[in-house]
Amino acid sequence: MSEKNPDEQRPADTNATQPDRPRSVGDDPPPITDGPQRLDPRWITVERISSWIYAGIVTIALLVFLGLCWSLGWFGLWLRLGFTLMSVGVSASLVYRAHIYPTLWYRRASYVLSQTAIEIRTGVWWRSVTSVPRSRIQHTDVEQGPLMRKYGIAKLIIHTAGTQHATVELIGLSRQQADRTRDHLIARVAGTHEPGRADGV
């Protein structure tokens, strides 16, 4: 996962389509078919980096706290031992979250873009399948953070008129994949129905 994205200097526009963008990174996005589609593996790297940064900050803070506890003799012995044990636990879970979890998540996540709906599967422990009928899509966003931009990853956000699932996120797509999916969803939304009728509002 160490290849460099040649167009990392691209301006930070999040919504423009760039059909002439050189496709030098990763594979071409798979064509839009009825089968389940995987996310871009580069997402694992992005997720790992950001989670490692978080884990590092928390661990350092804990270490500083423990160091002060032990060197200055704060709290009782048992409490100190307890804190130490807890910190080890927290750090271990953060390491799990940063290193192992993204792979597991990636393996489980997929999406299906069918004629009737977009269906998104996510979750490792708490799993969910969210289906949004195509006519219910009000609008979509493609979002990229700085780290995501560096690795050519994007997040597709689908807005419906609903309440609980008013925004449905599809994270970990490659930029091209996100753009193509977006274009596909939008074309369908714009083309086939008279607004205000089919969106169920």
Partner 1 sequence: MSDPPPRSHRLHPSSLLFQFVSGLRHFIVPGLLVLVVGASSDWAKWELYLMPILALFMVAQIVRYLSLRYRFDDHELVIRQGVLSRTERHIPFDRIQNIDLVQNVAHRALGVAEVRLQTASGSEPEAVLRVLAMHAVETMRERVFQGRERASSESEIGSAGGPAGSLARTGEPAERQEIVRLGLEELVRLGVISNRGLVLVAAAIGISYQFNPWERLNVSGWFQSARGLAEAGNLGPIAVGVAVAGASVLVLGLLIAMSIAWTVLKFHGFRLERVGDGFRISFGLLTRHTATVPARRIQFVSVHQSALARLMGRSSIRIETAGGSGDDGRHAFSRKWFVPILPTCDVPRVLNTVQPGLDMRHAPWRGLSAGAARRATRRALRNWLLPAVVVAVVFRPWGLAALVLPVLGVWLARRQCALTAYAMTDECVLFRSGVFTRKTSAARIDKIQAVRLAESPFDRRYRMATLAVDTAGAGPADHRIRVPYLDRQVAAQLAVDLTRLAESAAFRS
Q: Which residues contact 156 (CB under 8 A, 6 or more apart)?
A: 140, 141, 142, 143, 169, 170, 171, 173, 178, 181, 182
**Contact letters (x/-) for partner 1, 143-182, by CB under 8 A?**
-----------------xxxxxxx-x--------------
Among 5, 91, 103, 131, binds partner 1 (CB under 8 A): 131
Binding of residue 127 to partner 1 (CB under 8 A): yes
Instruction: Kindly state the smallest distance separating residue 84's Cβ from partner 1, in Å.
Output: 28
Residue labelled with tokens 């839009």 = 32
Nearest Cα neighbor of 156 from 122, 128, 126 is 122
Nearer to partner 1, 183 or 199 (CB): 199
Instruction: Kindly state the smallest distance separating residue 110's Cβ from partner 1, in Å.
Output: 14
Binding of residue 108 to partner 1 (CB under 8 A): no
Q: What sign does the dihedral 36-120-48-154 (CA atoms) show? A: positive
- On whether the CB atoms of residues 177 and 183 are closer than 8 A, the answer is no
Binding of residue 139 to partner 1 (CB under 8 A): no
Among 36, 82, 89, 200, binds partner 1 (CB under 8 A): 200
- On whether the CB atoms of residues 160 and 138 are closer than 8 A, the answer is yes
Give contact residues for partner 1 (rule: CB under 8 A).
Answer: 116-117, 119, 123, 125-136, 160-166, 168, 192-194, 196-201
